[in-house]
Amino acid sequence: MSPDERRAIEWDCARLVALYANLNDAAHWADLAALYAEDGIMTRPSAPDIEIRGHTAILAAFRARPPRLTRHVCSNVVIDVEDADHARGTSAMVLYTGTTPPAVGWFHDRFIRTTAGWRFSERRGTMTFSP
């Protein structure tokens, strides 16, 4: 793999991390669930031991949330390319709700290239500081 191909994968996966935060804050649940591979796995930072698997379950989990205004800020994004179709990454997350102190945590991601482009095969959240 060339350095340019590696950088393109890193960019595509880092963009997925940012897009996830923006879609989450906009409550665009169907678009958010579509960022996962068909059999993708999600764990919320507030419930890291509960796996939610597949588009249908992930979409249902987001739709079950009570409405709220949020702003997710992701930083310290590091993507490690494993091969042409797989990568992993970490990112720091701060969640602002305006009603409680910010929550701080991490996402540990695994990415896979699909026919639709790069998607999360796993997105596991953990909390560092909770309000």
- CATH, residue 16: 3.10.450.50
Per-residue pLDDT of the chain (131 residues; tens, 9 = 90+): 899 999 999 999 999 999 999 999 999 999 999 999 999 999 999 899 999 999 999 999 999 988 889 999 999 999 999 999 999 999 999 999 988 899 999 999 999 999 999 999 999 999 998 76
* In contact, 119 and 37? CB cutoff 8 Å: yes
**Given this model, what pLDDT does residue 9 score?**
98
In the block, tokens 């698997």 appear at 53
pLDDT recorded at residue 99 = 87
Domain span at residue 18?
A: 3-129
Q: How many other CB atoms are found less than 10 A from the CB of residue 37?
A: 19
Q: Which helix (H) or strand (E) holds 63?
A: helix 55-63
Element housing 48 (H / E): strand 47-53
Number of domains in the chain: 1
| Nearest to 130, CA basis, from 45, 20, 9 | 45
Quick one: pLDDT at residue 78?
98
- Entry pTM: 0.93
pLDDT at position 46: 86
CA angle, 5 as apex, 2 and 8 as ends, to 5°? 150
If we measure between CA atoms, which residue out of 53, 122, 118, 54 comes closest to residue 85? 118
